[in-house]
Structure 1
Amino acid sequence: MTISNMCQMAMLCVMVDFIVHFHKALFKSIFSCHLNSFHLKVMIKVSFYFLCSSDGNSKKRKSKDSCETDVLPTGDSKKETAIKKENAKKEREKKDRSGKDTKTTDEKKRKNKPEGKEESKKKKKDGDDGKTKKGGKKEGEDSTWKWWEEGNSNNGNKWTTLEHKGPLFPPEYEPLPNNVSFFYNGNPVKLTLPAEEVATFYAKMLDHEYTTKSSFQENFFTDWREEMSVEEREQIKKLSKCDFTHINKYFLDKSEEKKPSIELRAASITLFFGLIQPEEITINCSKGSNIPVAPKGHRWRKVQHDNTVTWLASWVENVQGNFKYVMLNPSSKLKGEKDWQKYEVARKLKLKVETIRRLYREDWKNREMKTRQRGVALYFIDKLALRAGNEKEESETADTVGCCSLRVEHITLHQEKGGQEFMVEFDFLGKDSIRYYNEVPVEGRVFKNLKLFMENKEPEDDLFDRINTTYLNKHLNQSMPGLTAKVFRTFNASTTLQEQLNKLTTADMSLEEKLLSYNRANRAVAILCNHQRAAPKTFEKSMQNLQDKVAQKQQQLDVARKELKDAKKEHKRGGTERTRKLVEKKEAVVKRLEEQLKKLQLQMTDREENKVIALGTSKLNYLDPRISVAWCRKFNVPIEKIYNKTQRDKFAWAIDMTEEDFQF
């Protein structure tokens, strides 16, 4: 059956029961630096229903398919699994009873199947060897819902029906038992409930290094005093006189008691997160669905019905004022489709990019200043993979910028530097307050335009004062539907990975050498995208351990080589079967030790090169996973070496559909 006459999806009903345990605290600025994430855990049950129809028959996809990939286990999961296994067993017995008819039908099907598909089936069968996995499934079978093999309406809507039960807030604070006290200046103090609750946050973190930092202590104490009563504020004036050890011990003992049980609820309240009330949360669901009920005495900020987005609930995080969202699991259909489409748009850009580059070069000579600025901005976004940069509210505290929001103070022009002409020095804070520093040579016309843009401006003035991201994206969309400035970043990152892998990898490499080549290719992308990190605190210690292992392995190799040399001398003096076998044995030992030493040295090189480079961000967000999957298949590298289990679930569509000859 061709794609055109496959079943068309008429309705998608996403029934979601999810519980979100929102962490609660009362602080806007606990740290001297700002936190960028609001941690929450989501337990979601998703059932996808399809009304289909090429032949007029309606079918229903069981929720099992999506639950296995998209859903965290619920308390009834064991019972459900047992029922499913029992049903599967009955189904197999039924098939066995009608074995004769089944065999006849299978033979007819095989006759009608193309030869290539038949061979493919045989290969799978040979690989299985009749072995079954736990649960009665053969190894070749896969119960994962392969949504990418189904038709796509492609009308911009993400869902037809969306219903869920909204976020569940944590229970009210439970006071400490009477035998657990807070002490101030050596004396027990009975705190009011609001003050006591906040005191427990700090007590739980006594063993953490944060509590040793002065900025953390000052911020905590300032915010804690806001929750105290007037009497408590008069009595408790210095954090240094506060004793939280009894409370800390109480929670440690309590956690030890809970260890044997499996806890499916979200982690306990901590200092890292702002207080979120129902009045701050926007619910997204479909019209006509059962709207989630807000907690008693509260109401939602807003209920909307937007089927062009995939989030279920949103709120504004109170530290930096950013929007936060409750989303479906990364391995879900909605998220997977979005990723797939993102990389397909980037691949389409490959066909148009030379035309776009020619056009923005022509813009450099345009008589209109706005058009010139647009051309230079696009040049930077393309050449340097800069983020476009969005307009921000004045109240936002972090002074982070992108290309369109660069100020005059962020660049320095050098007519000549280091033997190169037309050098531009960039120095600014990018996303997440990561410093972007780069010195790059640019084309003469770009250099001339930059001087023009900076004329008669103060350091704090905008470099590109005539344009913004919205204007830029609107212009790009006219060149290619779906094209935005962000697509250039994905395109250049994926193109760089593909080129580097083609350049750095050869078939005769060992597995460790191939992995080093992959990480070097990934590193080139991370540098392009300015994905930096602080060196891990354990870096020096782990490197020292590796150096010790290398030195130890080198000693073993030196001894083995000497023993091999002696064995060869003995064999040369009077060769016997015994001495010949001894030489072979010593040669095998030397070869094995050489391989082990080389592996350790490659690990050291890899770790040193990636000391301050974050490889994961680009791998998960900017690199088409099909490049990595094809590379793994071409060079016989286990995919598990590149993607962990969660990442393999996220990119299941790429792993299933990609052959070794794929090129971005």
Structure 2
Amino acid sequence: KAFSYAHTSDSHKHKEKHRDKEHRHKDHKKDKERERSKHSNSEHKDHFEKKHKDKLKHSDASEKHKEKHKDHKEREKEKRREDKVGSLITPLEERYTDGSKWRFLEHKGPVFAPPYEPMPDKVKFFYDGKPMKLSAPAEEVATFFAKMLEHEYTTKDIFRKNFFKDWRKEMTPEEKSKITDLNKCDFSDMSAFFKAQSEARKQMSKEEKQKIKEENERILQEYGFCIMDNHKERIGNFRIEPPGLFRGRGDHPKMGMLKRRIRPQDIIINCSKDSKIPKAPPGTKWKEVRHDNKVTWLVSWTENIQAHTKLPLNYLFITLALRAGNEKEEGETADTVGCCSLRVEHIKLYPKMDDQEYVVEFDFLGKDSIRYYNKIPVEKRVFKNLQLFLENKQPEDDLFDRLNTSILNKHLQELMDGLTAKVFRTYNASITLQQQLKQLTTGDDSVPAKILSYNRANRAVAILCNHQRAPPKTFEKSMQNLQTKIDDKQSQLSTARKQLKAAKADHKASHDEKSKKTVEVKRKAVQRIEEQLMKLQMQATDREENKQIALGTSKLNYLDPRISVAWCKKYGIPIEKIYNKTQREKFAWAIDMAEKDYEF
């Protein structure tokens, strides 16, 4: 796994523009200083010249003050800009001709998860109805299960099986001999302890919360930035993920497995030779320190679950935005496939279906074991080629038996530098968002209605990319609460309308100024409640439509943020309605550069 910079576009140009302006300003100052020096050395001049010189000095001093003030303002402006943009995002790497991404790279290394703190003696683990003291390693893994006790994951057979298998690896021989059946394990006391801790955190005072906030800010300032080629850059994620139980999505075969604690000896550090190399925690050392300027990652490690190093055909993936699909070692991961690894059993061909010709039906498990099911009409030539690929093959045979992702991407690289299968998927997502926004947005709509249109456009992208999720556990309850609010608001509206009707009748009878003002107040009250009701109804519609769709994945990883920013600026939608604070920091470059007429 690794963390690195989040690459952006064009913010580097803005920085260069400011630096050029600053350099020109400094050159101008030097010329003035030389001019002043020339005057100050002319002491042999007569009284008139001296008087004139004093006048010049006074003028120069005034100019110097103005220049100094102007220079200070420029530096402050640049500093504010870099604080807002430059130090939170990463500009495009320098276009070095040798393929280098940087010349200088320095950082403080990662922040590790805090060490395990044993449970208080009063908190018990029970086996077969009897309390049992666990060793620290076994107890820590037991707490992972206890924290999830009320989650549906812990009821799934595959989750329980994988957890118990990995948990036993952490037990002492004595514990292994006693704990042989997960069904006899009682984690309820542990679970209650963690619930109480959670409630205590919610009840913390403002001072306690502020103290935690300040400590997090201190850690951010120390570890959350790196220096790359004289730029201070924000690191996307500088914290090592704590140990826990793997969840996965869908019915992932590895759910419940133990995600082991990452230690310094697992970490590869990447920095420049002339930088100050990060120090490993006392008593430890890094696995390796590299100086590879052909990559932009800072820290790398191998996780035990997926067992791979993490760092952050043509017609099918171009048209359907399918993932290319990567080769996997047999038995190592779930039976998930992509475009290149499709098997015969994953598609069916229909010369005609529902008044459409040349229909292809796809049915397979994609990334994270999420089912992809789709029926799509294709060109006749594509349909005929697929028929040829299916000939004389068994259901378990590869559809594209002479192709893999490496061959595909190599071919694409020959067509255009940097072109990969994922580029098409990203393009399809972004162009779909732009087209949907144009179709769905009406200028006269209210802000809530426009945001609903945006989420519907985003939903179309998520469906295209097959970004599904299970409905949240609290979905039904939250919808009930929202419906209660809608009912209450409708009742308020009914009352407000009656009051408005009565006020109008009163004004009709009296025709005085007071009754006229009352009518206006009641009318505004009705209008305000109508707007509030509409907003709640929009929220309900939005939640219902997106309960099984993961909008965030495409928004953060596939969509060009300039499309969303331009849409916000065009229709007067606050950026905060689309991106939260963290997302605004990540996309600060797009917010800064995209105008309302931007076209993807």
Query: Who is 2:368 aligned against?
Result: 432
From the superposition, tell whether residues 304 and 528 of structure 1 become closer, same or farther in structure 2 (CA, over 3 Å). Answer: same
CA distance, structure 1, for counterparts of residue 439 and residue 382 of structure 2: 31
Task: Please point out which of 162, 177, 182 is paired with 1:219.
Answer: 162
CA–CA separation in structure 2 for the residues paired with 1:241 and 1:389:
42
Per-residue CA deviations over 1:74-117 (Å, capped at 9, x if unaligned) read xxxxxxxxxxxxxxxxxxxxxxxx994356549999xxxxxxxx
Deviation at 1:165, TM superposition (A): 5.5
Percent of residue pairs identical = 60
1:334-353 counterparts in 2 under 5 A?
A: none
Matched, 1:286 2:228: no
CA pair 220-527 structure 1, distance change in 2 beyond 3 A: closer
SS at match of 2:292: coil
Kindly report the root-mean-square deviation, in angstroms, between the aligned alpha carbons of the 2 structures.
Answer: 4.3
Give, in whole Å, the separation in 1 of the partners of 2:564 and 2:138.
Answer: 52
Q: What is the rounded CA distance, in whole Å, between the counterparts of 2:108 and 2:419 in structure 1?
A: 36
What is the aligned counterpart of 1:474 among 387, 406, 410? 410
* 1:320 aligned partner, one-letter code: Q
1:205-604 matches, within 5 Å, as 210-211=153-154, 215-243=158-186, 260=208, 262=212, 264=216, 269-272=243-246, 273-276=259-262, 280-287=266-273, 301-325=287-311, 377-573=313-509, 575-604=511-540
How many Å apart are 1:542 and its aligned residue? 1.7
Is the Cα–Cα contact under 8 Å of residues 95 and 101 in structure 2 kept in the other structure?
no
1:221 CA drift (Å): 3.1
Q: Which amino acid aligns with 1:425?
A: E
Task: Give deviations 1:261-295, integer Å, cap 9, x for gaps.
Answer: 63658786544522445554433233465666667
Output the TM-score relative to the length of structure 1. Answer: 0.66
Q: 1:546 to 1:246 in 2, by over 3 A?
A: closer
In structure 2, C-alpha distance between the alignment counterparts of 1:547 and 1:250, rounded to whole Å: 34
Task: Give the whole-Å Cα distance in 2 for the aligned partners of 1:444 and 1:538.
Answer: 47
What does the per-residue CA deviation read over 1:4-51, in whole Å, with 9 as the maximum and x for residues that have no partner?
xxxxxxxxxxxxxxxxxxxxxxxxxxxxxxxxxx89999xxxxx9x9x
Question: Which one-letter code corresponds to 2:599 in the other structure?
Answer: Q
Residue 322 of structure 1 aligns to which amino acid in structure 2? H
Matched residues, number = 509
Structure 2 distance, partners of 1:517, 1:557, is: 25
Q: Secondary structure at the match of 1:312?
A: strand
Is residue 2:37 matched to residue 1:101? no
Query: What is the rounded CA distance, in whole Å, between the counterparts of 2:446 and 2:432 in structure 1?
Result: 23
**How big is the shift at 1:409?**
0.8
State the AA in 2 paired with 1:435.
R
How far does residue 456 in structure 1 lie from its aligned partner after superposition? 0.4
Q: Amino acid of the residue matched to residue 598 of structure 1?
A: M
Distance in 2 of aligned mates of 1:629 and 1:660: 8
**1:434-488, Cα deviation, whole Å (9 max, x unpaired):** 1111111111111111111100011111111222222222332333332222111
**Residue in structure 2 matched with residue 161 of structure 1 by the alignment:** 104
Cα distance between partner residues in 1 of 2:410 and 2:495: 69
- Write the distance in 2 (CA, Å) between the matches of 1:418 and 1:561: 50
The answer as to whether partners of 2:570 and 2:596 remain within 8 angstroms in 1 is yes
Superposed CA deviations along residues 303-352 of structure 1, whole A, max 9, x for unmatched, are: 43321211122222221223224x7xxxxxxxxxxxxxxxxxxxxxxxxx
Q: 1:324 aligns to what SS in structure 2?
A: coil
| Aligned 8 A contact 2:264 2:284 in 1 | yes
Greater RCO (CA < 8 Å, at least 6 residues apart): 2
- Unaligned stretches of 5+ residues in structure 2: 6-11, 26-59, 220-238, 247-258
Corresponding position of 1:609: 545
Contact 2:109–2:278 at 8 Å: present in 1 too? yes
Structure 1 stretches lacking a partner, 5+ long: 1-37, 43-47, 60-97, 110-120, 126-136, 328-376
